[in-house]
Structure 1
Amino acid sequence: MPAPAARPSPPVAVTRAGAAVSHAAAVLTRLRRARLFHPAGRSFAGEVTIWGTGGPPTGVALLDEPGRYPATVRLSKGVSTPGSWPDVLGLAVRLHPDDGRPFDLLVSSSGAPPVLRAMPLPRRRFAGTYSTIMPLHAGRRRLWLAALADPDSADLGRSLTAVAAATRTDEPRLVLAVASAVGPWRPFGQVSIGTQLSARQDATLAFDPIGNLPAGLRAAGPLTWLRVQTYRGSRRARGADVQSGGSLGATV
């Protein structure tokens, strides 16, 4: 059997552009002395329960098949506005499947209707709709993933301080859901937010929403390329490793 053809190298101009974007992100991160994106946040141990998708399967086993996984959860503010001021809020969830390959889901505050799920929207409350903003691809289909407010859960409040306080008295939950570009959200699981991690653990966490995707799901498009370069530069400037920053040890 012939050996598979080598993957072509990217054009020199693309390589140089990527290096320039990554370097700029690293410089800005050093000047900020914190993450380039969502610098203010709180991290927690958690658990993700997958019920499975109702209706047509997505073709992604991790979303379609029931399971329960330990998780690392981070809630954050995009530009670090004070207290309960409006901001683009962020939720990062790292699932730790049995195969040892983490799944990083990063979503931002957005609207629930189709026309708004692709737009980051500032808000005050941490319980609400979070969307991947950009679609992910499962085969030829485009999917949006989301975390939605659970009406039966303890409230997360309007500040990071309130979020941390809520986890000390209860285990707040958000509902995980999937949708097409125009279809309704279909719940497939939930994320439970548990014990708060230390400030040191929060500082070393480094998520990768492009590289850490489950089998059958991929990111594509020019904005994906831009995110890869900026995240890489920010991680390098912080000295953070995407795998060691909570891939296993932070929740075990």
Structure 2
Amino acid sequence: MPTPCTAAAAVAVAGTAAALARWRGARLLHPAGRSFAAEVMIWGTPGPPTGVDLLDLPGRHRATVRLSKGVPTPGRWPDVLGLAVRLHLPEGRAFDLLASSSGAAPVLRNLPLPRRGFTGTYSTIMSYRAGARRLWLAALADPDSPDLGRGLAELTGATRADAPRLVLAVASAVGPWRPVGQLTLGDQLDARTDAALAFDPVGNLPPGLRAVGPLTWLREHSYRGSRRGRGASVQSGGSTGVAV
């Protein structure tokens, strides 16, 4: 059970996020982005299994993806870029994954890092527990995929010209990334759909995986406030929605 201080802090964080989102008239974080229909192909975990069936067992899933700029900075200026993915699972369930532009090395996978191009490493920053294991998830650049470009206009052009791909991967705190699947971008969703999308990266997780650490608490309450401030609600796993 939360302590009175923790509960008060949660109310304060959510209230502040709601007020800022209401003032902005948009998402508190990553307000500028593009959303796409997508497909996720899970190959299975190479080496020791994680204990999470969704990652360990081969499968194909319909998905929705949103790529975004954090602040956002103008045009092609550097920014902390965001990748949001929703896997639409059976029986109306969902797996919502948030990742930010970061470095691939262990010392950098915990840090959001600004960059210009949408092609690169995106790490969850937030860690997860799978049994006794602590895991990070990532989307890595596919060397055989078309470049995603710099800026949202170039991103849109890249997805119209081809079907760009990212490699999904898992790692421990200090281990190398282990590829587990592939994310393929499809048709872009319209602006109205993009603006209405919302999801829950703490509550929408597959069996065997749970979010941990102080960032989890902060995300849970700030995102809840942001959704309330812009009049959005977390969509069901059967919806087409994913956003921040």
Normalised-by-shorter TM-score class: over 0.9
2:215 & 2:107 partners in 1: Cα distance? 19
Could you tell me whether the CA contact under 8 Å between 2:126 and 2:213 is conserved in 1?
Answer: no
Conserved? CA contact 1:201–1:250, under 8 Å: no
Give the alignment's Cα RMSD to 1 decimal: 1.1
Partner of 2:146: 154
CA offset at residue 223 of structure 1? 2.2
Inter-partner Cα distance in structure 1 for 2:103 and 2:3 = 38
Does 2:60 correspond to 1:60?
Answer: no
> 1:36-47 to 2 correspondence within 5 Å?
36-47=28-39
| Counterparts of residues 5-44 of structure 1 (less than 5 Å) | 9-44=1-36
Shift of 1:99: 3.0
Give the aligned residue type for 1:108: S
Q: Which has the higher contact order (CA 8 A, sep 6+)?
A: 2
Count of aligned positions: 241
Q: Which amino acid aligns with 1:75?
A: L
Task: Indicate if the aligned counterparts of 1:44 and 1:196 stay in contact, CA closer than 8 A.
Answer: yes
Consecutive unaligned residues of structure 2, counting only runs of 5 or more, are none
By how many angstroms is 1:242 displaced?
A: 0.9
Q: Which residue of structure 1 aligns with residue 231 of structure 2?
A: 239
2-side partners of 1:220 and 1:186: how far apart? 21
Q: What are the equivalent positions in structure 2 for 1:158-169 lying under 5 Å apart?
A: 158-169=150-161
Q: Greater CA deviation, 14-23 or 82-91?
A: 14-23
Which residue is 2:88 aligned to?
Answer: 96
Residue 171 of structure 1 aligns with an amino acid whose one-letter code is A
Is the deviation greater in 219-228 or in 190-199? Answer: 219-228
Q: Report if the CA contact (8 A) 2:21-2:229 is conserved.
A: yes
Partners of 2:89 and 2:238 within 8 A in 1 = no
Larger radius of gyration: 1
- How far apart, CA to CA, are the structure 2 residues paired with 1:12 and 1:182? 36
**Mapped partners of 1:36, 1:49: distance in 2:** 31
Measured against aligned partners, the alpha-carbon deviations of 1:196-232 in whole angstroms (never above 9, x if no partner) come to 0011111111121111111100012222111111000
**Cα distance in structure 1, aligned partners of 2:216 and 2:234:** 17
Given that 2:93 and 2:238 are in contact with CA atoms closer than 8 Å, whether structure 1 keeps it comes out as: no
Written as runs of structure 1 = structure 2, the 5 A alignment for 1:200-219 is: 200-219=192-211
Worse overlay, 170-179 or 223-232:
223-232
3-state SS of the aligned residue for 2:5?
A: helix
Work out the CA distance in 1 between the residues paired with 2:14 and 2:202: 15
Task: Tell me if the contact between 1:86 and 1:122 (Cα under 8 Å) persists in the aligned partners.
Answer: yes
Code of the aligned partner of 2:136:
W
Measured in 1, the distance between the counterparts of 2:239 and 2:223 equals 22
For 1:22-67, what per-residue CA distance to the aligned partner results, in whole angstroms no more than 9, with x for missing partners?
Answer: 1100001111111011111000000000000100000000000000
**Whole-angstrom distance in 1 between the partners of 2:153 and 2:121:** 20
Letter in structure 1 aligned against 2:149: G
Displaced runs of 4 or more, over 3 A: none
CA distance, structure 1, for counterparts of residue 213 and residue 180 of structure 2: 26
**Secondary structure of the corresponding residue to residue 194 of structure 1:** strand
1:17, CA displacement in angstroms? 1.6
1:87 aligned to 2:79? Answer: yes
Question: What letter is aligned with 1:250?
Answer: T
CA distance in 2, matches of 1:201, 1:217: 29
SS in 2 for 1:62: helix
1:72 aligned onto 2:64? yes
